[in-house]
Structure formats: C-alpha cells, structure tokens
A = this chain, B = another copy of it.
C-alpha cells in the first residue's frame, strides 16, 4: 500500500519537509494548512515540487467547524470552504479533511450535520475534490468514529466519505468492543486513514493529541489490530502518518522522516503488508569497541578488571582485550580524536549476519561500508540512531567468517600483565551483562523502535532516574534470555551533558571477590556514601559481614521479585566507565533504584578530579 506523512509531523519549512519525506521513501504527503500558509511557494509550485520529488499530495487538511451550524454561519462556512476546495484543486490533491466541529455554535442534530456535509460535498465536487469527515476525540457533538460514519452514511453523497484516525479512535476506545464494526464500513467510503501512536497517558485528550503523539510502535496503542480491521473493510488508500509531537517539531526533518517510515514498515510487516527479511535477534555480545587517543588509562582499567591483551589487528591500531567471554577492542586510530574516549561500536553475535544486515537495510538502517582493508574479514555493520556502529558478526562459529580473523595473537606489553592475586574463580569477569548508551535527547523513541524493529530486541518499560542536575529517562531493550541487554538513557534536555556517559557492565559470579581483586590490581572503585549503606541496613537484612563488605568496596544492592542485584563501578575514562554486576535468581533490573546515588557519586568524583 502507498505510504504518506502529514507535513505537521516534520520540522522545518515546507520545502524541507517535502524533501525529507521524499528521501525517506514516502509516496505522498498530507499538506497541513499552516505549512501552506507560511510557504512562499504558490499551490502550483508546491504541486510541481512534490511531483519533482515523486510525491503525491494525498490530503489537504484540516477544514474545521463547517457543519452543524445555524444557517447564516453555514453560509459563511461554505464560502470559506469553496476557497479551500479551489486551493486543493490547485495543489492537485483530491481529498480535503473535515474535522468534526468544536464550535460552540454547533448544534447536536445528526440530520442537520448530514445535510450540511452533503451540501459541502456537492460544492467540493464542483471543484473536483471530495471530503473525508473525521471525528475528533474532543468534537463537540461528534467525537467517535461510529458517530462520524453514521452521519456520512446518512448524508449518502458520493463526494463524502469518512477519515479514520487511530489516535482519535484508540484514545477513546475502552477495549476492542469499541472497534467492532470498523470492518463493516464499505472500504470505498473510508476515504483516508491517519495513523499515530501515543504513550498511554491519563491526561486531557486534546493536550495528549497535540503534544504526545508518536510514530506507530513507539507508544501503547494496538495499531496493528486497528489496521487489520480497516484492511478487512476493504480500504485501499494510503497509510498516512499524522503525528503532533513537540520533540519532532524540534528535530531535524531528515532523520525523523526515516524514523517515521521505519515505524510504518514495521507496522506493515506486522499485518502482512510488507515482508522484509525475517528478524534474526542477536545471541550475545561478540565485542565492544572503545576508541581513544590515549590507550594507557583504558588499559589500566581493563588490566585491573582482569582483562588481558590477547591480540592486535593486522592492519589497524586496534587491540583485543579478553576476559572470559567478554571482549573489548581498544582502537587508537583517527576515530578517537573527535570526541575522546568513547564506546564507538558493538559487535552483536548474530545467527545470520548477512540476513540480519539485509533486514536492517530493508528497515532503513544506514548500512556502513564493510571493513575491507586488504585481508580484512568482511563484516556487516549498520549505524544505530546515536551513531554507534553495530556489527552483525560471528565468533568461532563454523561456516561463518570470524571477526577475529584479522587479529593476530599478541604478547602482552609490559605493564599489562594479568592482575596479580586473583584466583580466576568467583571474581572473574564472565561476559557482558549489559551495555548502557546515552542517546541524543530527541532520539529516545526512535532508538527503542530501531532496536526492536531492526535488531529484534524487546523494549521494557521506561523509567525516570533522578540525576542531581536533571531527570533522566532510561529504557532497556533485550533478548528474552537476557543474552543481549542494552540500556538506552536520555537526558531531560539537550544541554544536559552530565549524562553523556556510556558504560559496559560485566557479569561476575561474586561481586565482592571481583571488587577486591580489582583493588588488589591497583584499580579504583567509585566511592559510595555511607548514608546509602546505612539505608540498606534499615531496608534489608544481610548476612554477617556482608554489608560491611559493600560499605568498604562501594557495592550497591537491589532486589526484585525474582532475585538480587549487586553492583559497583570503576572510575570514568573519557565518556566510558565499567560496572561489575552480580545478578542472581533471575533479577531483571539494571540498578535503576541505585542510579541517583551512583550519578551523584560520579558528579562528586568529577568535581574532585576536575574532570
């Protein structure tokens, strides 16, 4: 089916919006009245621009407060409407959206409404256009899809149909029973379908609609269920996104349009209208890659964590460090010069790297050039919305190229010997427990959708985390078995750079042993205030000596219905720090309850070092 997007969903001038919609691959647009009024282009020039960009104009919108009016008011409304019908014709569009009236003058009289809509449709037809009548959720008298449809049916005019809008329908629906009957509307009387999702908020529906809509799959509505009904009705028009969202208004139109079309592709897939290559969720973290200009501080922390430098890339300044199944690349190439030490790439263990890459490409993930220095193993890679490079790769699996093929075993240089005093047992790093990546503030919803749609990870609930200098939002995406867990975090506002950290959480069997070993190897743990541990003492009962060890080492503790979570932190190098995690009994959290204390401690540590 054809895809379309309302210009109000994107930021910028009308020209910028049209360009972004075209580049993202939409077939058409809805032109929002304010965008037209503010544009220096004439309707004919807009039409031509769209044609050049391969876009149709599928709808002009909205027309408001034109029906259910006293005679004199209705005459004025018809006069206004004729201007808009003519404008729509000049745009080369054939459909005008009419929203149900919110005017205090509107009369609660379905026969009057039907009669006036029929007369308006007659006028529209003279200009070669047709009317799609939509119930606003806050319409004065007509506020439900079935009421709007009843009026349209009674008006019985060929140039009058209904427009279904998922927000207005689902924001009011108490359950599937309120959607029954949509599939019985004759398909050719559904003139248009507007799609928007929204988080499930208990708030005034008009404010909810105007500020908090989001793209399908980013909120809590069952859009697939609604779309199936509309398709069963026989609707053949475009699937069109109409999203009022404060964040999208401020974000660059290009990436927003790509995010929008990815959301629509994912919705189409879920109802069988599109068939990108099937998802192949990752089965583990093959590696993470840090870039830096100065490897020494990173090497010192890795050494203290028990990692050993095991190999070096044949052609690039990249070292491989390993401990258990955790592998970290340290890249001192040119990439580090831009932003200092940061986490630049993640290798995801994929059951089908090339299939996963084809899916990513089909879902508009930017495919990165394969690393093909002479002798390099071919690696599939795409860019996440935050710019992190995601490699879809295999580690030691027969029949698949191994990303380690380009590395040759290294002798650990002086000063990076495996740490002393460790029994490679209880305290040893086993694998990556999770990664935590700070997202650009306006890409929080996009990032969650990307990781779900492109990688097949499952998003969990979003939680608020109080940083001393602002509220953060955090949302984990993971595989069902927890083999891959990524925590996406975003600051409350774009200036907030206190949260631009990234961290690698390493799983250990015994965090006390691991913390002691790290200290014995010269590592430094983030100090945690004594008040925190006093509070733990009030809230939980611990075995003898347990709490004293946590106090000494700066270990934090949490518990959920499934099990326990103990964790501690290294100091921060550049934007990156490490966490040691002991996860027992199927605990599902990430220490969010302790994050405010950790964040305050990191701010305090930064204050002390001036970093």
- State the A residues within 8 Å of B (CB): 11-13, 33-34, 36-40, 42-43, 79-80, 83-84, 87, 201-204, 207, 210-211, 246, 249-250, 441, 464, 466-471, 492-496, 527, 529-532, 534-535, 537-539, 596-597, 599-601, 603-604
Bound together, the chains give a CA A529 to CA B40 distance in angstroms of 5
Q: Specify the chain B residue showing the minimal Cβ separation from A210.
A: B464
Give the residues in chain B near A12, CB-CB below 8 Å: 468-469
Q: Specify the chain B residue showing the minimal Cβ separation from A208.
A: B203
Given known A-B contacts A11-B470, A249-B469, A468-B13, A601 and B203 have beta carbons under 8 A apart: no
Bound together, the chains give a CA A43 to CA B530 distance in angstroms of 10
B532 A250 Cβ-Cβ under 8 A? no
Q: Specify the chain B residue showing the minimal Cβ separation from A13.
A: B468
Q: Specify the chain B residue showing the minimal Cβ separation from A441.
A: B493
A37 B597 Cβ-Cβ under 8 A? yes
B80 A538 Cβ-Cβ under 8 A? yes
B597 A496 Cβ-Cβ under 8 A? no
A11 B201 Cβ-Cβ under 8 A? no
B203 A539 Cβ-Cβ under 8 A? no
Bound together, the chains give a CA A60 to CA B320 distance in angstroms of 51
Q: Specify the chain B residue showing the minimal Cβ separation from A32.
A: B466
Given known A-B contacts A11-B469, A80-B538, A80-B539, A531 and B39 have beta carbons under 8 A apart: yes
Give the residues in chain B near A494, CB-CB below 8 Å: 493-495
B250 A492 Cβ-Cβ under 8 A? yes
Nearest chain B CB to A324 CB, angstrom units:
32
Nearest chain B CB to A73 CB, angstrom units:
13
6 smallest CB-CB distances across A and B, nearest first, come from A83-B538, A38-B600, A203-B203, A250-B470, A202-B204, A494-B495
Bound together, the chains give a CA A441 to CA B36 distance in angstroms of 29
Given known A-B contacts A40-B529, A40-B604, A466 and B250 have beta carbons under 8 A apart: no
Give the residues in chain B near A207, CB-CB below 8 Å: 201-203
> Can you list 12 pairs linking A and B with CB atoms under 8 Å apart?
A11-B468, A12-B468, A13-B604, A34-B597, A79-B538, A83-B534, A84-B538, A202-B207, A250-B470, A250-B493, A493-B494, A495-B495
Apart from A13-B600, A201-B204, A493-B494: 16 A-B pairs, beta carbons within 8 A: A11-B469, A11-B470, A12-B468, A34-B597, A37-B529, A38-B468, A38-B532, A210-B464, A246-B471, A249-B467, A249-B469, A249-B471, A250-B471, A250-B496, A493-B493, A495-B495
Bound together, the chains give a CA A468 to CA B527 distance in angstroms of 47
Bound together, the chains give a CA A33 to CA B535 distance in angstroms of 9
Nearest chain B CB to A436 CB, angstrom units:
19
B495 A37 Cβ-Cβ under 8 A? no
Give the residues in chain B near A529, CB-CB below 8 Å: 37-40
Bound together, the chains give a CA A471 to CA B249 distance in angstroms of 7
Give the residues in chain B near A37, CB-CB below 8 Å: 529, 531-532, 535, 596-597
Give the residues in chain B near A596, CB-CB below 8 Å: 34, 37-38
Give the residues in chain B near A203, CB-CB below 8 Å: 201-204, 207
Give the residues in chain B near A467, CB-CB below 8 Å: 249
Give the residues in chain B near A495, CB-CB below 8 Å: 250, 494-495
A530 B42 Cβ-Cβ under 8 A? yes
Give the residues in chain B near A204, CB-CB below 8 Å: 201-203
Give the residues in chain B near A39, CB-CB below 8 Å: 529, 531, 600
Given known A-B contacts A80-B539, A83-B538, A531-B39, A34 and B466 have beta carbons under 8 A apart: yes
Given known A-B contacts A538-B79, A597-B38, A492 and B246 have beta carbons under 8 A apart: yes
Give the residues in chain B near A597, CB-CB below 8 Å: 34, 37-38
B531 A42 Cβ-Cβ under 8 A? yes
Bound together, the chains give a CA A37 to CA B531 distance in angstroms of 5
Give the residues in chain B near A87, CB-CB below 8 Å: 534
**Which of A529, A597, A604 neighbours the largest number of chain B CB atoms within 10 Å of its CB?**
A529
Given known A-B contacts A493-B494, A534-B83, A13 and B249 have beta carbons under 8 A apart: no
Bound together, the chains give a CA A42 to CA B210 distance in angstroms of 47
Bound together, the chains give a CA A531 to CA B83 distance in angstroms of 11
Which among B13, B80, B599, B603 is the interface contact of A603 at CB below 8 angstroms? Answer: B13
Bound together, the chains give a CA A39 to CA B596 distance in angstroms of 11
B13 A250 Cβ-Cβ under 8 A? no
Bound together, the chains give a CA A538 to CA B601 distance in angstroms of 62
Bound together, the chains give a CA A80 to CA B535 distance in angstroms of 9
**Which of A33, A79, A537, A538 neighbours the largest number of chain B CB atoms within 10 Å of its CB?**
A538
Bound together, the chains give a CA A12 to CA B600 distance in angstroms of 9
Q: Specify the chain B residue showing the minimal Cβ separation from A246.
A: B471
Give the residues in chain B near A471, CB-CB below 8 Å: 211, 246, 249-250
Nearest chain B CB to A465 CB, angstrom units:
11
Bound together, the chains give a CA A202 to CA B466 distance in angstroms of 25
Give the residues in chain B near A250, CB-CB below 8 Å: 469-471, 492-493, 495-496
Give the residues in chain B near A441, CB-CB below 8 Å: 493
Give the residues in chain B near A36, CB-CB below 8 Å: 531
Nearest chain B CB to A592 CB, angstrom units:
13
Bound together, the chains give a CA A250 to CA B495 distance in angstroms of 9
Q: Specify the chain B residue showing the minimal Cβ separation from A599.
A: B38
Q: Specify the chain B residue showing the minimal Cβ separation from A467.
A: B249
Bound together, the chains give a CA A604 to CA B16 distance in angstroms of 11
Nearest chain B CB to A26 CB, angstrom units:
19
Q: Specify the chain B residue showing the minimal Cβ separation from A203.
A: B203
**Which of A39, A79, A467, A596 neighbours the largest number of chain B CB atoms within 10 Å of its CB?**
A39
Nearest chain B CB to A123 CB, angstrom units:
13
Give the residues in chain B near A492, CB-CB below 8 Å: 246, 249-250
